A and B are shown apart, each in its own frame.
Chain A
Amino acid sequence: MLGLPALATPEEMQAAMARITGGANVRRGRVKLQLPPLVENGNSVEFSVIVDSPMTETDYVKAIHVFTEKNPQPYVINAYLGPRAGRARITTRTRLADSQTVHAVAELSDGSFWSDSVSVVVTLSACIGNLV
């Protein structure tokens, strides 16, 4: 029971992002993370990541990575696309442990990284106050 991180921290998330990007510069833009701004309990939150890219053989999205700041561990999904995907858009569902910011990072075929982030408020967390 001991030894598990209670919840990840923004610092751990930054470290996870750095591992993925190899420390490269991540610019905001070209990526749209669609996530509701308010959720009741965070048990199942649908989200989409859309990247502005022509998805041609020479200009495409290689990967989309999604991270959270406060779930027990920082990774959500690593999606690998490519020109055959045709469109850089993924949708799935995540758990959110608490109100936090979710980050999406796209790696493009030219080696550049782009990101977007959305803050989500879990309304139930106000209900219970400072417990832990």
Chain B
Amino acid sequence: MADAIVSVPASARPGEVVEIRALVRHPMETGFRHTQTGERIPRNIITQFECSYLGAEVFRATLHPSITANPMLVFALRATFSGRIEFRWSGDNGFSVTESATISVA
């Protein structure tokens, strides 16, 4: 899959609450596992997810090792005006992925 896939309705009425889905490719290595030969596999997870709409944050999350690989997040936002929705994932080892979408509100 691509690094990230987001699902945003193309359009909405003003004030309508819409569902946003965000999926990112990442192993979410917990840091608790070991190799077959007993070496601990270091933690490598996404720790932060941010979503902003029209430049202001609408949703943010701190992720922990319990979250499964290729983390999926579903949340909501209230559509106000047409504009961009920005998504950003960041985490261990300098991981940083961004994605964006536009929503048309009328």
Contacts and interface: CB of A to CB of B under 8 A. Distances in A.
A and B touch in the complex (CB under 8 A): yes
A54 to B, nearest CB: 11
A68 to B, nearest CB: 6
Contacts of A76: 64, 66-67
B66 A91 contact: no
Contact of B77 (A72, A77, A86, A94): A86
Q: How large is the interface on B (under 10, 10 to 19, 20 to 34, 35 or more residues)?
A: 20 to 34
A39 B14 CA distance: 40
A79 interface: yes
B5 interface: no
B7 interface: no
Interface of B: 17-18, 30, 32, 34, 38, 40, 53, 56-68, 71-78
Task: Please provide the 3 A-B residue pairs with the shortest distance between their CB atoms, ordered closest to farther.
Answer: A86-B78, A86-B17, A91-B74
Interface of A: 1, 4, 43-44, 48, 55, 68, 71-73, 75-95
Given A76-B64, A93-B67, 7 more contacts: A48-B74, A83-B78, A87-B76, A87-B78, A88-B76, A91-B75, A95-B66
26 contacts: A4-B32, A4-B40, A71-B65, A73-B64, A75-B64, A77-B62, A77-B63, A78-B62, A79-B75, A80-B61, A81-B75, A82-B57, A83-B78, A84-B56, A84-B58, A86-B77, A86-B78, A87-B17, A87-B76, A89-B74, A91-B74, A91-B75, A92-B73, A93-B68, A94-B66, A95-B67
